[in-house]
Structure 1
Amino acid sequence: MAGIHFTEAAQTYLAELLSKQDTTGVGIRVFITQPGTPYAETCIAYCKPGEEKAEDLLISLAAFPVWVDAVSEPFLEDAVVDYATDRMGGQLTIKAPNAKVPMVNEDSPLNDRINYLLQTEINPSLASHGGEIKLIDVVEGGIAVLQFGGGCQGCGMADVTLKEGVEKTLVARIPEITGVRDVTDHSVTENAYY
């Protein structure tokens, strides 16, 4: 179960906010954007019945349900949601000390380590062009088979990005990888950045 704690003050404050919603049974959903990276942001949002995802973890508090995003859950270990009052009113705070901590190490499965590197280092730099890279598989000889998407697909610079950026990074950081191969059809150019 999620290692996230809601103080009494936070529960009281959130229950009051939720009671003002025009739909009954509204809970909250907790998730982290870009978990395990320096850019991680912990978020709380209203969650109307049916808006939760099938893989979400449910925490049933006395006054309302809390849905925790499954991908974010390991990063919410030791997280505390609190409500502190001061002269100006009050503020809901979320302290999630593990939100930015990577959940992979040298012993993690190869695909997890590659995906972590893609999500935290490679894709953020491609995002400015609307692009992303996904791992398809690792084949014999330590070749990572990748697929370009978004603005990378059809981009005339994709092969340069692949060899100069992605391959060098993966080979340098993950010893089992000897090279990369692109399975993307770059003849489709309607969203290309270049």
Structure 2
Amino acid sequence: MTQPQFDRTFCTQLDALFTWRRDVRHFQKTPLPEGVLDSLLHTACLAPSVGLSEPWRFVRVESADRRAAIRHNFARCNQAALEGHDGDNAQRYATLKLAGLDDAPHQIAVFCDTNPTQGRGLGRATMPETTLWSAVMAIHTFWLAAAARGIGVGWVSILNPQEAASTLCLDPDWSFLAYLCVGYPQQQRDTPELQEKGWEQRNPDRRKWIMR
């Protein structure tokens, strides 16, 4: 197969994709067309992985009972997080919508098989965490593929991971990594919502090399 040539127009569009990829919190309730999630999963599986171990496990959460349990998990953790802030920070936090759990039509849990037989241990002897990092790369690949199709992804990180894993009743050797809300966003943004609402700003120093 001949390697494609990625011209300047493509590179400009790719930069735009990185700019417009957002952590979405506000979703339309319309489900994605049939087959779109499968296509995104296939693209996610093109992500690099240590030893070609492909340790990611993507789980579609369709059960109403399990979704409700995740929602309760979030509510408890979110309330505890709110109580950890005071003054202006508490007020700002209270105004943030930190989950799309009520509206997003699709919910996906991502786990990592931290000691997969696939890959035969290559590259993990001194840094076993590389399986986790590989699974995160797959999440990012899924996220970019979704953004390129106008689909939003929101990563719900305010959860008790042990409780979430128990709710989803999966292999005890899998490590819970992420709970993703997926669907069409109510609004497209090229600026993080947290920045727009004054929670935090991007740091220009992060765009500079540290020299040693």
TM superposition score category, shorter chain reference: under 0.3
With the length of structure 2 as denominator, give the TM-score of the two structures. Answer: 0.26
Normalising by structure 1, we get a TM-score of: 0.28
Between Structure 1 and Structure 2, which shows a larger proportion of strand residues? 1
Q: Answer with 1 or 2: which has the greater Rg.
A: 1
**Structure showing greater relative contact order (alpha-carbon pairs closer than 8 Å, 6 or more residues apart):** 2
